[in-house]
Chains A and B, each alone.
Chain A
Amino acid sequence: MYVPHTEAEREKMLSTIGLKSMEDLFQDVPAVERFPDLRLDPPLTEMEALEELQDLASSDETTSELVCFLGAGAYNHYVPSAVDAMISRGEFYTAYTPYQPEISQGTLQAIFEYQSLISALTGMDVSNASHYDGATAAAEAVSLANAHFRGKRSKVILSPALNPQYRQTIRTYNPGTELTFIGDNSGVALDDSPEALIPLIDKDTALMIVQYPDFFGRVYDLSKLAEAAHAAGALLAVSAYPIALGLLKPPGEFDVDIVTGEGQPLGIPLSFGGPYLGFFATKKDYLRKIAGRLVGETVDNRGQRAYVLTLTAREQHIRRERATSNICTNQGLIALATTIYMSLLGKNGFKEVANLNYQKAHYAAKRLSELEGFELWSDEPFFNEFTLRCPIPVAKLNESLLEYGIVGGYDLGLDYPQLSDHMLLAFTEMNSKDDIDLLVEALAEVSHD
């Protein structure tokens, strides 16, 4: 498919090259292994492929068929129509990384605008062009800190309330460094505030990472944490939920050093886990240690404003084994999609959607905490996600909820044995009051079965 050559053209080309057959092109390939029989199904036409893919897709139950209260790192938000319409333009999605700025100004200016929007959202000075997702963006915060201290500080403190998948990813990334990871294995109680981590900070601490709101949904003031980290010369990174920043103080106001996060809530479909977007913003001071691509403004030889990839000497294609990261292809089109989302909503629409999320979750919390046997795990402020203590195991509850067409919350016992029977529930603008009332009724019924 998609090979335009006719038989006559193929013959003409072979004779131009001076070969007799297509096989002659592969004379360097060892004969014994050459031309294997691939045991794959025979080719399909477009009509047949569409039918097969539709069959597969239709055996999944979607978030529009079910009522979904799952969050835990990916959120069911509304995606405005203009987002997909714009990223479906071939000029955007079939372009390469903008290495040739004269014919890539579309991509470059969009990234510059993305960097500007993310910096404003997080309250930081600069943002890069993206990482793979929220987990790897957090892992790159560790790399930045390690590079900043030139490997001379060996301790990284991970809040136990940082997304467990992020903590796993950070550890996977670092077997080659001298870093040790503490904080989530240091006996700090889960119901403590992040300030309980302060005693762990010392002169050997490179970085502390916390989440805002944290994995359990709680919102804490992080200024004391930033103060304590800075007093020891350490850096503080925060993994933030972007929609929450429409309503809540941005982490920059707590004087944190790095803000990362998962950009999926900003107009990216759930798509069973990806592709999403890792955003990464920091203070000017750490700019030269940032991984990944950066776009800067400049002028062309005709005096026009124009944009170009800059500070490329940090990157792998120039610096090879001395690069700050190996990142090459990142999430260009997804960053573009979030840029379109952020510009469509703008400052007013974004505040509106953030408020809707907040209101729905608080209504749900009030209703659920009135249910017999259920209780909010924490009385700290929260945004759109919270932890609910349940009278029976979460797996059992969720199984029953599914019969009502409800996807219940995340079973926290899977990651935190001490929180078995605790469910993490997320609410967004996609959940109507009726959906929430249905959840309350269903939980009342199934918890008594």
Chain B
Amino acid sequence: MTEPLMCELSSVGRTGLRFPQSDVPESALPKGFERERLAWPEMSEVDVVRHFTRLSQYNYAIDKGMYPLGSCTMKYNPKINEAVSRLPGFSMIHPLQPIETVQGALMLMYNLQEMLKEIGGFAGVTLQPAAGAHGELTGILIIRAFHASRGDTKRTKILIPDSAHGTNPATSAMSGLDVVELKSDPNGNVDLEALKAECDDTLAGLMLTNPNTLGLFDEHVKEVTKMVHEAGGLIYGDGANMNALLGIVRPGELGVDILHYNLHKTFSTPHGGGGPGSGPVGVVADLVDFLPAPIVDIIEEGDEEMPPLFGFVTPEKTIGRVKAFQGHFSIMVRAYTYIRMNGPEGLRRIAEHAVLNANYLMKLLKDIYHLPYDRICMHEFVLEGQWDDAPDVHALDIAKRMMDYDLHPPTNYFPLIVHEALMIEPTETESIQSLDNFVDVMKKIAKEAHETPELLKEAPHNTPVGRLDEVKAAKDLVLTCNLEAKP
């Protein structure tokens, strides 16, 4: 397949939308500022709709099938969430409208803040961060601001386990902290001896992903948080793996001081082919004053006749604002709806079945693929995608071959501490049929790897395009083209 580019579908003089005639007297355009040329396509609505419909069909998506990308929590995205996010009362309100005219939106935000506080065990929540990494940045800036507010300026060291997501070290470096990598112990937990050696008066904090990216719940989590606190540091919790913990345990009660939630993972809002996400941050009581502005609060208490008045407030020692306006509101609407429809028992059910599904797959696959950490896992687990007796086959080949069986591959080559990693997160929304199909495919591929490895090396065969020349892409660097209609 090759879908034409817009220029190939264009014709000089076409347009896909007409606007009404101007109803005001004509004013002259400003001299010297007039644009001469805009190299854009000229297409009809039919051209555009067919182009994007065809393009959409070249994508894999959750709506087509299982998407077991580890650490990404690709669960089903309920359709009701899409419908409510588009209600005019939510989609057609300006972020700077007088608060009296947007009480519904503010009440929703307030309630979502309250729900996230309750779920995570925190005293305050900001909804402003736009994505997980943006929430991390917010959290790390809060850690800096907290130490600075106490005149404790030598705390510049941030500890990051070697299994952490790449955003953790990138965020810390961006915030001017010195990153020290902590190794994992043989069971996949934070190595307590290594941690102890770093616990001194330069310690700003520890970024903890729990369950970690091996899918393992740290067996010593309370010791870890206690050691860091005793050294004067704070614990940042990476909430990317919160799907395993809903109703199971509150990170705030394990000693986590700051945590970002990925609404686009745990709370079922769609990934959109790479965003938009939403990364609210929860904090313990000591850190509430540092949250970014604005947050939503009740600014006039209600009574029997009048509902309370919701509005925006600025925390006393705020780190500032991390983006324009108040966050990804329409994503919040989706997450709010999801939490309301689940209720407390539904949330726990999500975590339980996410963990059940992962353990079921792990059990059925561990005799065929090497499982480096053999413990009860949480919502995901990591296999090795290589065999001694099929040395030419790599995790990448397995991943590519899975596409031929209409499955999205797991995350590969992450976490970095596992050789040829295949990181598998089924999520709770996969049925037993779907899981069994995945196991069958993985078994078939393991067999092929030994008997007909070239099938894997050349895979995928049944996809719209085959393996890409990534070296050429980086060398030639064709990042744009002229999309104008050819005359």
Contact = CB atoms under 8 A, between A and B. Distances in A.
A92 B324 contact: no
Interface residues of B, number: 206
B61 A92 contact: yes
A413 interface: no
Contacts of B165: 317
Interface in B379-418: 399-400, 403, 408-409, 414
B34 to A, nearest CB: 7
Interface string A226-259: 0000000000000000000111111000000000
Nearest to B345: A43
Top 10 nearest A-B pairs (CB, nearest first) are A176-B176, A57-B89, A333-B272, A273-B325, A332-B274, A43-B343, A90-B63, A273-B95, A172-B320, A275-B276
B360 A17 contact: yes
Contact of A355 (B22, B221, B222, B342): B22
A352 to B, nearest CB: 5
Contacts of B470: 298, 308, 310
A432 to B, nearest CB: 6
B341 A43 contact: yes
B342 A89 contact: no
Contact of B41 (A70, A246, A327, A346): A346
A72 B95 CA distance: 10
Nearest to A341: B17
Contacts, number: 680
Interface string B7-32: 00010011111111011111101101
B462 to A, nearest CB: 10
A93 B77 contact: yes
A445 B261 CA distance: 49
Interface string A106-122: 11011011011101110
A323 interface: yes
A132 interface: yes
Contacts of A76: 94
A344 B45 contact: yes
Nearest to B474: A310
B287 interface: no
Contacts of A66: 97, 101
Given A22-B356, A95-B59, A347-B41, A50 B19 contact: no
Interface stretch (B67-75, B193-201, B440-448): B67-75
B268 interface: yes
Interface string A51-63: 0111111111111
Given A94-B77, A94-B270, A270-B95, 16 more contacts: A46-B341, A54-B84, A58-B104, A60-B90, A102-B463, A102-B464, A115-B480, A172-B319, A249-B33, A270-B91, A271-B85, A274-B331, A275-B330, A297-B481, A308-B470, A316-B170
Given A30-B249, A40-B339, A326 B15 contact: no
B97 A3 contact: no
Nearest to A53: B84
Given A304-B465, A308-B468, A332-B276, A1 B52 contact: no
A96 interface: yes
A391 interface: no
B137 A33 contact: no
Given A175-B176, A219-B33, A301-B466, A35 B248 contact: yes
A163 B375 CA distance: 53
Interface centre among B45, B87, B322, B480 (most CB of A within 10 A): B480
Contact of A26 (B91, B169, B355): B355
B259 to A, nearest CB: 14
Contacts of B161: none
10 contacts: A35-B247, A49-B341, A91-B59, A103-B460, A107-B59, A136-B323, A296-B474, A297-B478, A310-B473, A325-B170
Nearest to B134: A132
B429 interface: yes
A4 B75 CA distance: 12
Contacts of A49: 80, 84, 337, 340-341
A126 B90 contact: no
Contact of B477 (A25, A221, A296, A327): A296
Contacts of B329: 271-275
